[in-house]
Amino acid sequence: MKNRLVVSFPSISINESLARGITASFIMPLDPTVEELSDLRTAVSEAVTNAIIHGYGRTDGIVSMELEYDGCDVTVTVRDEGRGIENIELARKPFYTSMPDSERSGMGFSVMEAFTDGVDVQSALGQGTSVVLRKRIGNHECSL
């Protein structure tokens, strides 16, 4: 079975939990384990939080999320049209943060990587960032 959902919302922090809730509801038909569900919710939360605090910061913008599954393969793309990332390789390094004074730990990308099967990042300075999270939900039911 294939399915797809596109949503967008303003870059306000209350929508971090909304994004997690939408993700959980969307993949529910795949009958994920508690751990798979929690892994994907966590990864999505990291990407959406980054879009809000780094992509837009003090400016307002729109965060969009595209969720898809094809059989057991789930893809969540989180996009912003914010400031963009200058050096993606550096940004993805564990403990790297451009905001150490705001109590950021620089672990967001590492958490996304640990909790999914693949993370792709595309970004252009001044244009925005898109983060693709891929995760295979292990239950055999969804391959039918």
Position among 15, 39, 44, 109 found at the interface with ligand ATP (CB under 6 A): 109
The one-letter code for the residue type at 38 is S
What distances in angstroms separate CA 50 from CA 59, 71, 113, 118, 137, one per listed residue? 14, 29, 14, 17, 24
Among 7, 18, 106, 134, binds ligand ATP (CB under 6 A): 106
Catalytic site includes residue 141: no
- Give the alpha-carbon dihedral of 99, 23, 18, 39, to 10 degrees: -50
- The answer to whether residue 61 forms part of the interface with other proteins (CB under 8 A) is no
Q: Does the annotation mark 104 as catalytic? A: yes
What is the chain's percent helix, strand, coil content, to nearest 5? 40, 30, 30
Minimum CB separation of residue 97 from ligand ATP in Å reads: 3
* Smallest distance from ligand ATP to CB 61, Å: 10
> Which residue of the set 16, 50, 79, 81 is catalytic?
50
Q: Is 92 a catalytic residue?
A: no
Pair of tokens at residue 38: 């929690």
Secondary structure class of 32 (helix, strand, coil): coil
Size of the site for Mg ion (CB under 5 A): 2
* Residue 32 lies near ligand ATP (rule: CB under 6 A): no
Q: Does 60 bind other proteins (CB under 8 A)?
A: no
Tokens of 129: 């960032």
Beta bridge partner(s), residue 123: 129
Binding track, positions 104-143, relative to Mg ion; x by CB under 5 A:
----x-----------------------------------
Residues annotated as part of the active site: 46, 50, 104
